[in-house]
A and B are shown apart, each in its own frame.
Chain A
Amino acid sequence: MPRVEALLLAACVVALALLVVLPLTFLLWGSMSAEGRPTLEHFREALTSRLYVQALRNSLVLGTWTALLSVVIGVPLAWAVSRTNVPGKRFIHLTAVVSYVTPPYLTAIAFVNLFSPNAGIVNRFLRDVAGAPALTFNVFSMSGLVLVTVLHTFPFVYLLASTALTSVDASMEESAQILGASRWRTALAVTAPLVAPAILSGALIAFVNAIALFGSQAIIGLPGRVFTLPTRIYALFDYPPQYGLASAMSLLFVGITVAALYLQRRYLARRSYVTLAGKSNRPQLVDLGAARHAVFAFGAMVFVIAVLAPYVTLLAVSLSKSWGLQFWQNLTLQHYRFVLFEYDVTRRAMWNSLLLASAAATLTVLIGSLVGWLDLRTSLRGRKLLDYASLIPLGLPGIVVAVALIQFWLRMPVPIYGTLLIILLAYTGRYVPLGVRSANSAFRQIDASLEETARITGAGWFRTFRSVTLPLARPGLFAGWLLVFVPAVQELSASILLFSSESITLAVAVYNLYETGSLEPVAALSIVTMLIITGAILLATRLGGGKPTTTVAG
């Protein structure tokens, strides 16, 4: 049925062109032209002006430290959970999952309430009550930024490392042991080299994610004058906007991201050690003895810092009349009343976010299904190219997607700037790789013969797709849907450049309210946001009939 295939191919090409290729082309052109003439002026400025070079450097420093610390936290936890008899494995695993799902800008706001130089409650306590001003910690600094960011990125390393650690065949290690190597020697000579690619790969993903987070970098970086690529690019849109320079900065940003992802691919591909087929035995668990409790304490500490502290802080702030050392003496629900009933932005933002996230998730899965199906079930020329094109956005930080879309649509006769549509395009473009990957692996598990059987019994292409392919792929596709929905409903990095008062999203609402300086209502809105996100995930999971996905998106 080549006509259907050709039609589908055309649809995919148009979709990917609109979402990815054309905006990127305009971004490229924008970075290399001024008033319609080619120039390298923007790049020269981006690479020489102190302001921008410093942002570049800060981003690299932030990414590097975050990646390193993600390894320091993620690897021991992964080892403990997958290789030892540490108590509370589920608890540690859940800590990692919740840390990943928590929007980093909420963590940032919580930590501001704890550690801002003047009003931070911990700092106040140390200074005014404990009389130890030397111990205070200023969160508005690179250290503060790294701390907040790493709480969001260590799960990448954790997840990849624990997968690797469980998949190393026990006989690899036992071979070393029987040859006389001690536990330590075995760990260093055999286990470490075997899992190193996965850890390195996790670290690079942590790096890429860390430098792309606009929210935490604005909330913590700006007051501390720690400017980074996303915040600098954002500032370039202050009136009068400097599109050319913003485009050039964006491309530099993409360069860094793509370089890191390229390294990651290469490490994983070149040094991935495929275990031979056959019976493989699970490693025996290390008996930690009394040290179990110390290892568990480490996991508990991560839980306290990454999960408990942010949520408890936000809850406490949201309930207090005014945040301070004696906050519990004046508890109130007035901030909730304000954000829920008086602040009309909330409801609009909530509906917008839910609508945008559902629509984007559905669209990405749809595009992903088409691309995946074309790739796996047909031999059309160019289908591989489609597959590659759909993976491009992996290398695009959110704010870059926004800059590219602005460049493109401002030159189009269709006025969609400032509407929900452009945000939808941004989300769909950003997350289309997740849809393609999920669909691809979902279809891969369905044998083509099942579809062929339906065709032979007389079902048309569409009928077959609807009644055989889709139902069989449903669990996989739904996992993909959720994989997009979760980050989309809390998206900030692209939305921040694209929203208008009509198309405002939840994350932008939180950020804007924070900008006005009122900490308590922001905390209330943050809690409301988290509840909405959690509720939406639970609802979607129930409707989808699957289990909540705990996969970390790569």
Chain B
Amino acid sequence: MAGIVIDRVTKRFGTVTAVRDLTLDIHDREFVTLLGPSGCGKTTLLRLIAGFMTPDAGEIRVGAIPLSTPAGVVPPERRGMGMVFQNYAVWPHKTVYQNVAFGLEVRRVSKADARARVAKVLESVNLAGLEARYPSELSGGQQQRVALARSLVVEPGILLLDEPLSNLDAKLRERMRWELKDLQRRTGITFVYVTHDQSEALALSDRIAVMHAGEVMQFAAPREVYRRPANRTVADFMGLVNLLSGRVVRAAGDASLVALGGGQPLTLAVPPGIAESQAVQVAIRPESLTLRVLTAAAAADTAEALVGKVADVTFLGNITDCHVTLDDGTRVRVQVDARQDLDVGQRVTLRFDRDTASVFTG
């Protein structure tokens, strides 16, 4: 069992609290991503799990065994975890083979056995044949694979990865992403993966822990985090989003009415605890909006819709990016089918499914 329980852990550096009373329950064989903006404490949390740091409060357990408490930590070398760093940290003075075999040497695996295992793991990361090369003779992607192989060869129950792909170019990143996911499925290792790239997190994770200022804002599956962000911060961080200011006209759970964008109130699901005439923020993603041109014939058809004028149209090839100014002046971004022709100044309606919008207290 290699589940990780992080139990109300706090870590401070002087006056900065990098991790604040944080609780996270990571399951065995799960691919969990720590996602958040720079400085939110992702690396600190990862290093706490690895045992490079002592928590100021709380406890970290793996399979019910406490590894880190403020009273003491099991040192990294006795945790049997693997770790991959952003800058690869491949040892420049060792060949690929020596890099990968190091962990086995430490574990006193016999030479012949080690050779077989290194060969196998190099095969699995597509590095077979490069054993004798030095890191300086490898590309960035290959170095990252060496770092991966080095961690995998000792068959850790848990692999910690700190922005492992951020130094690679876009194309390679895409490919490595896929390889990592595949690797995790095949090996069944618990992955804790740090990134500040939301698309990476969405593509890879079983669950995403969205962090902000040392706290976990939401811990859920990618679809859930994307579609039902727990708060504004999460919504804002997970891709493009329109945040519209509104006011509750009628508070009635799923059938509440919210005044938005200067038009007729819309029917929306409002979280409990929100009272009538309270100001709220409604988050709607650009791709969730359906745009229709208001023709003279359909002039009256504005029920349950936002009404505005096209302000700007940018053709992007596969889609068209369009800005609409609502009647109260709010600008909304909409992504529409590229085949739909639009002109600036046209009056349009915007509609969306109720469950694609999230309402937060404003």
Task: Given A194-B92, A194-B93, check contact A278 B106 (CB 8 Å).
Answer: no
In the complex, whether B122 has a CB less than 8 A from a CB of chain A is no
B81-99 near A? 1/0 per residue, CB < 8 Å: 1110111110111000000
Q: Which of A169-196 contact B (CB under 8 A)?
A: 169, 171-172, 174-182, 185, 189-190, 193-194
Task: Given A174-B76, A180-B77, A278-B167, check contact A273 B107 (CB 8 Å).
Answer: no
Task: Given A174-B76, A278-B167, A279-B86, check contact A179 B102 (CB 8 Å).
Answer: yes
Min CB distance, B111 to chain A, in Å? Answer: 17
CB pair A180 B91 closer than 8 Å: no
- Count of chain A residues near B, Cβ 8 A: 26
Task: Given A174-B52, A273-B93, check contact A180 B107 (CB 8 Å).
Answer: yes
A242 cross-chain contacts in B, Cβ below 8 A: none
B78 cross-chain contacts in A, Cβ below 8 A: 180
CB pair B91 A179 closer than 8 Å: no
CB pair B102 A176 closer than 8 Å: yes
CB pair B89 A171 closer than 8 Å: yes
A180 cross-chain contacts in B, Cβ below 8 A: 77-78, 80, 103, 106-107, 154
Q: Complex formed: what's the CA distance from A120 to B5 in Å? A: 70
Min CB distance, A179 to chain B, in Å? Answer: 4
Q: Complex formed: what's the CA distance from A193 to B99 in Å? A: 13
Task: Given A185-B106, A194-B93, check contact A178 B87 (CB 8 Å).
Answer: no
In the complex, whether B359 has a CB less than 8 A from a CB of chain A is no
Q: Which of A253-302 contact B (CB under 8 A)?
A: 271, 273, 275-280, 284
B77 cross-chain contacts in A, Cβ below 8 A: 177-182
Q: Complex formed: what's the CA distance from A185 to B86 in Å? A: 23
B167 cross-chain contacts in A, Cβ below 8 A: 276-278
Q: Complex formed: what's the CA distance from A169 to B52 in Å? A: 15
Q: Complex formed: what's the CA distance from A63 to B75 in Å? A: 43
Task: Given A171-B89, A276-B167, check contact A178 B107 (CB 8 Å).
Answer: no
Task: Given A276-B87, A276-B167, A279-B87, check contact A178 B92 (CB 8 Å).
Answer: no
From A178, A190, A278, contact of B91 by CB (8 A): A190
Q: Which of B42-63 contact A (CB under 8 A)?
A: 50, 52
A284 cross-chain contacts in B, Cβ below 8 A: 52
Task: Given A171-B87, A172-B91, A273-B93, check contact A177 B102 (CB 8 Å).
Answer: no
CB pair A179 B154 closer than 8 Å: yes
B117 cross-chain contacts in A, Cβ below 8 A: none
From A169, A189, A194, contact of B102 by CB (8 A): A189
Chain A residue with Cβ nearest B92:
A273
In the complex, whether B79 has a CB less than 8 A from a CB of chain A is yes
Chain B residue with Cβ nearest A182:
B77
CB pair B103 A179 closer than 8 Å: yes
Q: Complex formed: what's the CA distance from A189 to B92 in Å? A: 12
Q: Complex formed: what's the CA distance from A172 to B88 in Å? A: 9
Task: Given A175-B150, A284-B52, check contact A181 B86 (CB 8 Å).
Answer: no
A185 cross-chain contacts in B, Cβ below 8 A: 106
Q: Complex formed: what's the CA distance from A279 to B164 in Å? A: 12
Q: Which of B142-171 contact A (CB under 8 A)?
A: 147, 150-151, 154, 160, 166-167
CB pair B92 A179 closer than 8 Å: no
B150 cross-chain contacts in A, Cβ below 8 A: 175, 179
CB pair B103 A193 closer than 8 Å: no
A172 cross-chain contacts in B, Cβ below 8 A: 89, 91
B81 cross-chain contacts in A, Cβ below 8 A: 178
CB pair B102 A174 closer than 8 Å: no
Q: Which one of B50, B80, B88, B92 has the greatest number of beta carbons of chain A within 10 Å?
A: B92
Q: Complex formed: what's the CA distance from A279 to B77 in Å? A: 23
Min CB distance, B235 to chain A, in Å? Answer: 28
Chain B residue with Cβ nearest A186:
B77
Chain A residue with Cβ nearest B104:
A179
Q: Which one of A175, A193, A194 has the greatest number of beta carbons of chain B within 10 Å?
A: A175
Min CB distance, B90 to chain A, in Å? Answer: 8
Q: Which one of B83, B88, B91 has the greatest number of beta carbons of chain A within 10 Å?
A: B91
Q: Complex formed: what's the CA distance from A182 to B107 in Å? A: 11
Min CB distance, B288 to chain A, in Å? Answer: 36
Q: Which of A219-276 contact B (CB under 8 A)?
A: 271, 273, 275-276
Chain B residue with Cβ nearest A271:
B93
CB pair A280 B87 closer than 8 Å: yes
CB pair A178 B50 closer than 8 Å: yes
Chain B residue with Cβ nearest A194:
B93
Q: Complex formed: what's the CA distance from A182 to B82 in Å? A: 15
Task: Given A178-B76, A181-B77, check contact A171 B85 (CB 8 Å).
Answer: yes
A176 cross-chain contacts in B, Cβ below 8 A: 91, 102
Min CB distance, A461 to chain B, in Å? Answer: 42
A189 cross-chain contacts in B, Cβ below 8 A: 102
Chain B residue with Cβ nearest A185:
B106
CB pair B93 A177 closer than 8 Å: no
Q: Complex formed: what's the CA distance from A173 to B9 in Å? A: 25
Q: Which one of A178, A180, A185, A279 has the greatest number of beta carbons of chain B within 10 Å?
A: A178
CB pair B89 A178 closer than 8 Å: no
Q: Which of A139-184 contact B (CB under 8 A)?
A: 169, 171-172, 174-182
B88 cross-chain contacts in A, Cβ below 8 A: 276
Min CB distance, A182 to chain B, in Å? Answer: 6
CB pair B89 A175 closer than 8 Å: yes
Q: Complex formed: what's the CA distance from A189 to B147 in Å? A: 16
B89 cross-chain contacts in A, Cβ below 8 A: 169, 171-172, 174-175
Q: Complex formed: what's the CA distance from A271 to B86 in Å? A: 23
Q: Complex formed: what's the CA distance from A271 to B93 in Å? A: 8
Q: Complex formed: what's the CA distance from A177 to B47 in Å? A: 12
CB pair B107 A175 closer than 8 Å: no
Min CB distance, B62 to chain A, in Å? Answer: 14
Q: Complex formed: what's the CA distance from A178 to B85 in Å? A: 11
Min CB distance, B217 to chain A, in Å? Answer: 23
Task: Given A180-B78, A180-B80, check contact A174 B107 (CB 8 Å).
Answer: no
Q: Complex formed: what's the CA distance from A174 to B86 in Å? A: 13
Min CB distance, B44 to chain A, in Å? Answer: 11
Q: Complex formed: what's the CA distance from A476 to B74 in Å? A: 48
Q: Which of A188-211 contact B (CB under 8 A)?
A: 189-190, 193-194
Q: Complex formed: what's the CA distance from A177 to B147 in Å? A: 14
Q: Complex formed: what's the CA distance from A271 to B150 in Å? A: 22
**Chain A residues close to B by CB (< 8 Å):** 169, 171-172, 174-182, 185, 189-190, 193-194, 271, 273, 275-280, 284
CB<8 Å pairs between A and B, sample of 13: A171-B85, A171-B87, A172-B89, A176-B102, A177-B52, A178-B81, A179-B154, A181-B106, A190-B91, A271-B93, A273-B92, A275-B87, A276-B167
**Other A-B pairs beyond A171-B86, A181-B102, 8, CB < 8 Å:** A172-B89, A175-B83, A179-B102, A181-B106, A194-B91, A275-B87, A278-B167, A279-B86
A-B residue pairs, 9 tightest by C-beta: A171-B89, A179-B103, A273-B92, A171-B85, A193-B93, A180-B106, A178-B83, A175-B89, A177-B76
